[in-house]
């Protein structure tokens, strides 16, 4: 591998890591949002029965 | 190293690393189409009689938006070969090579199933069934069957884009009525002049990709005639909410004002002399968006502001 190829690979690796980091943050945010949404919607669907454990 | 040179070198090695950004995945969901779907869905939701919990309403709109995005991703996955040939679409994430078609299809299918499930569990089954029908119609009937076979592709396929007001309405009522179906009819009739205006100035693109849009198959003169015909129909149908008694003075002003503008612009397209640059078709494309926006914005504002609609016209 010559110097140019090695430089290209290094740039691509950095870009890949940056893109992967941002994708991971986005996935984490979406999953957290869905957890909150499902919890809140379950409470909404239960309505007045939310405290009824019997 | 310049940004361009760096971008070129990155694209050379993109096959080795997944360089797709969050923005690329977002672009896969066709955000502009999604915003129109959401907007018309909101109109159906606020117009519907009865009450809906704000959380349920937001969940319905989220499911609608994600369902629209799923359709967009599945469409881009299937159409990557022709998108690559058209200047308007060649920079989309799949033809550009940053997201593989299989991954786009997987994401689209996951989002489709997820959005329908959430709609069914937290809103109601009628809204979920309508969402499922809309996604299936867009993907199987429009994208896979009609788009590459007939110049009527966007006429029939337009039904998928027209259904969001019905989904919004069904989210509240659990059923359908005349009012949401009139809104569906307005968007259905609006779709042909909107996309044929685009196809007039993108005719070479469509010809290169062998997509049988009307100007490619029947010629530009026939397309101009059809644009005027459908614009007359959509402008007349745009008055139906007033006649049927679910729209008021603000809507009437918006419908007549922008409707006449839309109609005049379509007639001007019929007499276009510059068949290469098609400046009037480009203008009509923009006006058609403003027309639909004005109609649905007026409906939403009237509902929110509590403006009383006109009494329905009675015959006899």
pLDDT tens digits along B150-181: 999 999 999 999 999 999 999 999 999 999 99
Q: Are residues B76 and B124 in the same domain?
A: yes
Q: Are residues B161 and B249 in the same domain?
A: no
Residue A51 pLDDT exceeds 80: no
Q: What is the pLDDT of residues B47-87, one digit of tens each?
A: 999 999 999 999 999 999 999 999 999 999 999 999 999 99
Q: Are residues B167 and B188 in the same domain?
A: no
Q: Does B9 sit within 8 Å of A11, measured CB to CB?
A: yes
**Is the residue at A52 inside a domain?**
no
DSSP string for B15-80: TTS----HHHHHHHT-HHHHHHHHHHHHHHHHHSSS---HHHHHHHHHHHHHHHHHHHHHHHHHTH
Residue B3 pLDDT exceeds 50: no
Q: Which of B16, B53, B121 sits opposite A12 (nearest CB)?
A: B16
Average pLDDT over residues B239-262: 97
Q: Does B25 sit within 8 Å of A44, measured CB to CB?
A: no
Q: How many CB atoms lie within 10 A of CB B59?
A: 23
Q: Are residues B225 and B114 in the same domain?
A: no
pTM of the model: 0.90
CB half-sphere exposure, B46, CA atoms < 13 A: 18
The Cα B242–Cα B252 span in angstroms is 7
The domain in which residue A33 lies consists of 3-43
The Cα B234–Cα B292 span in angstroms is 10
ipTM reported for the complex, 2 dp: 0.77
| Number of domains chain B contains | 2
B274 — phi, psi (to 5°)? -90, 85
Question: For chains A and B, what is the number of CB pairs under 8 angstroms?
Answer: 49
The domain in which residue B289 lies consists of 177-316
The pLDDT value recorded for residue B1 is: 43
| Domain termination site, one of B173, B203, B226 | B173
Nearest CA-CA distance, residue A37 and chain B, Å: 8
Q: Are residues B42 and B109 in the same domain?
A: yes
Q: Which two tokens stand for residue B43?
A: 């109109």
Q: What is the pLDDT of residues B90-99, one digit of tens each?
A: 999 999 999 9
Q: What is the pLDDT of residues A30-39, one digit of tens each?
A: 999 999 999 9
**Is the residue at A26 inside a domain?**
yes
Q: What is the pLDDT of residues B21-58, one digit of tens each?
A: 999 999 999 999 999 999 999 999 999 999 999 999 99
Residue B15 pLDDT exceeds 60: no
Using the Cβ of A8 and the Cβ atoms of chain B, whether some distance falls under 8 Å is answered with yes
Q: Which of A12, A20, A41 sits opposite B13 (nearest CB)?
A: A12
């Amino acid at each position: 591998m010559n110097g140019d190829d090695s430089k290209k690979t290094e740039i691509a690796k950095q870009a890949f890591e940056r893109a992967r980091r941002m994708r991971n943050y986005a996935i984490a945010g979406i999953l957290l949002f869905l957890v909150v949404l499902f919890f809140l919607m379950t409470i909404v669907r239960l309505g007045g029965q939310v405290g009824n454990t019997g | 190293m310049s940004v361009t040179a760096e971008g070129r070198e990155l694209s050379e090695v993109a096959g080795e690393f997944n360089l797709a950004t969050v923005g690329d995945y977002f672009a896969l969901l066709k955000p502009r189409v999604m915003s129109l779907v959401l907007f018309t869905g909101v109109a159906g939701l606020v117009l519907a009689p009865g009450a809906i919990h704000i959380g349920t309403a937001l969940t319905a709109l989220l499911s609608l938006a994600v369902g629209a995005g799923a359709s967009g991703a599945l469409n881009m996955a299937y159409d990557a070969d022709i998108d690559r040939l058209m200047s308007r679409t060649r920079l989309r994430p799949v033809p550009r090579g940053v997201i593989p078609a299989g991954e786009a299809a997987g994401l689209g299918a996951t989002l489709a199933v997820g959005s329908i499930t959430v709609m069914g569990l937290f809103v109601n089954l009628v809204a979920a069934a309508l969402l499922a029908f809309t996604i299936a119609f867009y993907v199987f009937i429009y994208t896979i069957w009609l788009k590459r076979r007939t110049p009527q592709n966007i006429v029939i396929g337009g039904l998928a884009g027209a259904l969001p007001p019905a989904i919004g309405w069904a989210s509240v009522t659990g059923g359908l009525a005349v009012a949401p179906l009139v809104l569906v009819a307005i968007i259905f009739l609006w779709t042909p002049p909107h996309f044929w205006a685009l196809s007039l100035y993108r005719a070479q693109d469509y010809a290169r990709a062998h997509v049988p849009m009307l100007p490619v198959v029947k010629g530009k003169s026939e397309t101009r005639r059809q644009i005027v015909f459908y614009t007359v129909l959509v402008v007349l149908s745009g008055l139906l909410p007033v006649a049927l008694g679910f729209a008021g003075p603000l809507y009437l002003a918006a419908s007549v004002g922008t409707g006449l503008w839309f109609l005049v612009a379509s007639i001007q397209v019929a007499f276009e002399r510059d068949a290469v640059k098609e400046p009037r078709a480009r203008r009509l494309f923009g006006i058609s968006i403003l027309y639909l926006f004005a109609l649905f914005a007026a409906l939403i504002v009237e509902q929110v502001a509590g403006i009383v609609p006109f009494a329905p016209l009675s015959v006899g």
